[in-house]
Structure 1
Amino acid sequence: MTKYKLEYIWLDGYTPVPNLRGKTQVKEFDSFPTLEQLPLWGFDGSSTMQAEGRSSDCVLKPVAIYPDSERKNGALIMCEVMMPDGVTPHPSNKRASILDDENAWFGFEQEYFFYKNGRPLGFPEAGYPAPQGPYYTGVGYSSVGDIARKIVEEHLDICLAAGLNHEGINAEVAKGQWEFQIFGKGSRKAADEIWLARYLLQRLTEKYGIDVEYHCKPLGDTDWNGSGMHANFSTQYMREVGGKEYFEALMGAFQQATADHIAVYGPDNHLRLTGKHETQSIDMFSYGIADRGASIRVPHSFVNNGYRGYLEDRRPNSQGDPYQIASQILKTIASVPVESEISVAA
């Protein structure tokens, strides 16, 4: 028997953006445990904005397990928060009620800033560094500094060792800003892995004395880019059938549902979606081929393949909850009739 360190990870009850939480228990198993072997585990919800002190019990329900390369015999356990009966989802548990489809594919592009001493990594104590331009996909000390690349490379290795479908990294447009990409099949799986990748990044930066800033516009009303979490999405029907008529109906549905999407695409998005810095204004909807300033960017490959493939919603921001983002995208797609009800071009 081997003693395994099980890190139970969950989202707390803070609003509008929940925090990641984690605590460890040690259990013996013959080999790396399966999800079915993991017990429910209680915690003090009064300390996480999920219960009152006079009735503080909440329960963690394991929903996914990954190896933790940073700890000997370690495991990362993604959990849902349940009521004391262990069966009823807690009101803060958004994962339990989202629309899911394993044939719906999501690719999230998570942008963020590294922060140190209250400012983006690489910013001087007063004022600003040289204007945006050389930082995006940049290389060299003047562009990315002396520590950021070490962190993102280490984070990439940790995610891959955990079995996350991490697809890449790059320095972003602003100084101190970076991005990683996660792909998953199904809303829950893709969102689980984004949350876990966020957790691993935040845990990693502890040893470097650096914070991760996910706010979508941390530098306020300046000429510095904000941070998004662009959502690339497709369904089996979009990939295999598609067609221009279906695509246009889909864009009509997205336009009608604009308010529903913005409501779950992350707080303070009005600060980011200004129509500047490669964004469409928050009160407008548009789509365009390779248009990074549109609400929905349509890849050339999508059009060239007979309006089949994936699309990119550029409106979700870096603090958005991927569970709710993916679920809302699926709800809008589901509102559009498919081949049996609409004449679709092949």
Structure 2
Amino acid sequence: MAQILAPSVQWQLKTKQTSMSASSITPKMWSSLLLKQSSKVAVKSSAKFRVLALKSDGSTINRMEDLLNLDVTPYTDKIIAEYIWIGGSGIDLRSKSRTISKPVEHPSELPKWNYDGSSTGQAPGEDSEVILYPQAIFKDPFRGGNNILVICDAYTPAGEPIPTNKRHRAAEIFSNKKVVDEIPWYGIEQEYTLLQTNVKWPLGWPVGAYPGPQGPYYCGVGADKSFGRDISDAHYKACLYAGINISGTNGEVMPGQWEYQVGPSVGIEAGDHIWCSRYILERITEQAGVVLTLDPKPIEGDWNGAGCHTNYSTKSMREEGGFDVIKKAILNLSLRHNEHISAYGEGNERRLTGKHETASINTFSWGVANRGCSIRVGRDTEKQGKGYLEDRRPASNMDPYVVTSLLAETTLLWEPTLEAEALAAQKLSLKV
């Protein structure tokens, strides 16, 4: 049986019955057959990869896709739960599957599980067991039915969070009464870059060369301006199916780069939704044969980097008089600039240069409608006297648990000294 892996297109091969067995078709004859059929048969677009099998009777079938799409719901109450966790680098995602006896509605209904932490850089070989705690569930867009994706965090057998478990600390901050009462909202803009598989060069770029300068690609339309739209659209729909609060998507300034937005989300939910959306994106690019990178500056030179701008507001910011609350928050953020920068993503210094719509990594700044500042306030917020702020410093590879909880901690729980507050207010021209 001969097989073809056909990315992005579905080939319909119809051949006359022949006594020749599939095993007797030589590579040269097979190539000739494909060329002959491609001249006769139209190519139908498809968002999926399809494995086609040529049988000896000349018919084409897709047994694998039949099985992948098999709905087992009428035959069993059992479901498949895909347990997802963050690996040793703090940015890589890992997952494995297990059968659950019946559908569930809450992560507390799921059992804890374990994995080999020595294989993910999270435990020594002589004591490698790491325990997964289910924390959030989403519908599985790949398996469908009652199957689920499960966002987990990781602990030692003694119940201590391992170093890469940033969710645990975030949950503590978001459970603080001061934070709970302020109902913190987040809208996160996740930028990412698509790379060609073998050369690790952006999708749509000529290999070893560069496309035309930036300008026509941002929200662009056309084969010479938009590269990877099918991946972006497939991801959009898959996130909606999963129950992720995705609110939009667009092509970015650098060709081969895209963005999607998640939110508004409250508290710890923001991190859960971003991590699950990243997992889904990894799976889609895996199927498409394209490499996903969250590197904040994938191409050096006069090209935009990739960020994860985080929009943030509290109940007090959203109410009358909220602009004064926003300015007080900006003051606090200015005084903890270094703490935030150190937690906002690896390699961010290559992105935050003061160019390409970024502020310098070494200098804190804020402004109304200014995308070259550390913190941007929108025109509507200024006009209405209430609203939200946008932290433009986080890199595309930031941990959303860290960034969201740090924003809440700095603006709601941390109090500067009066002297530091006065100096910062004067420096930033803030009257609070």
Question: TM-score scaled to structure 2, two decimals?
Answer: 0.74
| Match in the other structure for 2:128 | 56
Distance 2:324 2:341 in 1: 25
User: Unmatched 5+ residue regions in structure 1?
Assistant: 338-344
Q: Residue type matched to 1:24 in 2?
A: S
Q: How does 1:257-268 map to 2 (within 5 A)?
A: 257-268=336-347
Distance 2:116 2:344 in 1: 29
Q: How does 1:226-237 map to 2 (within 5 A)?
A: 226-237=305-316
8 Å Cα contact 1:170/1:179 also seen in 2 = yes
8 Å Cα contact 2:245/2:263 also seen in 1 = yes
| Match in the other structure for 2:165 | 93
Q: Residue type matched to 1:62 in 2?
A: P
1:314 aligns with 2:396: no
Equivalent residue in structure 2 for 1:201, among 268, 277, 281: 281
| Match in the other structure for 1:342 | none
8 Å Cα contact 2:188/2:309 also seen in 1 = yes
SS at match of 1:277: coil
SS at match of 1:2: coil
Taking every aligned residue pair, what percent have the same amino acid on both sides? 43
Equivalent residue in structure 1 for 2:263, among 158, 171, 183: 183
| Match in the other structure for 1:10 | 85
State the aligned residue count. 331
Against the structure 1 CA distance between its residues 184 and 22, is the aligned structure 2 distance closer, same or farther, given a 3 Å change threshold?
farther
Distance 1:11 1:181 in 2: 21
| Match in the other structure for 1:168 | 248
Distance 1:177 1:18 in 2: 19
| Match in the other structure for 2:216 | 134
| Match in the other structure for 1:270 | 349
Structure 1 position 250, deviation (Å): 2.3
SS at match of 1:326: helix
8 Å Cα contact 1:104/1:187 also seen in 2 = yes
| Match in the other structure for 2:297 | 217
SS at match of 1:167: strand
Equivalent residue in structure 1 for 2:95, among 5, 16, 22: 22
8 Å Cα contact 2:91/2:397 also seen in 1 = no
8 Å Cα contact 1:165/1:182 also seen in 2 = yes
Structure 1 position 18, deviation (Å): 2.8
Determine which structure has more spread, i.e. the larger CA radius of gyration: 2
8 Å Cα contact 1:187/1:323 also seen in 2 = no
**Higher relative contact order structure (alpha carbons within 8 Å, sequence separation ≥ 6):** 1
Against the structure 1 CA distance between its residues 245 and 234, is the aligned structure 2 distance closer, same or farther, given a 3 Å change threshold?
closer
8 Å Cα contact 1:216/1:226 also seen in 2 = yes
Against the structure 1 CA distance between its residues 65 and 244, is the aligned structure 2 distance closer, same or farther, given a 3 Å change threshold?
closer
Q: Residue type matched to 1:127 in 2?
A: A
Distance 1:149 1:135 in 2: 12
Against the structure 1 CA distance between its residues 25 and 243, is the aligned structure 2 distance closer, same or farther, given a 3 Å change threshold?
closer
| Match in the other structure for 1:294 | 373
1:124 aligns with 2:206: yes
List per-residue Cα deviations over 1:62-96 (Å, max 9, x = no partner).
000111021044210000101113x3222221100
Distance 1:137 1:163 in 2: 25
Distance 1:287 1:195 in 2: 28
Q: Residue type matched to 1:75 in 2?
A: I
* Root mean square deviation, CA, Å: 1.7
Distance 2:389 2:80 in 1: 40
| Match in the other structure for 1:158 | 238
| Match in the other structure for 1:323 | 401
8 Å Cα contact 1:107/1:183 also seen in 2 = yes
Q: Residue type matched to 1:82 in 2?
A: Y
Distance 1:243 1:25 in 2: 47
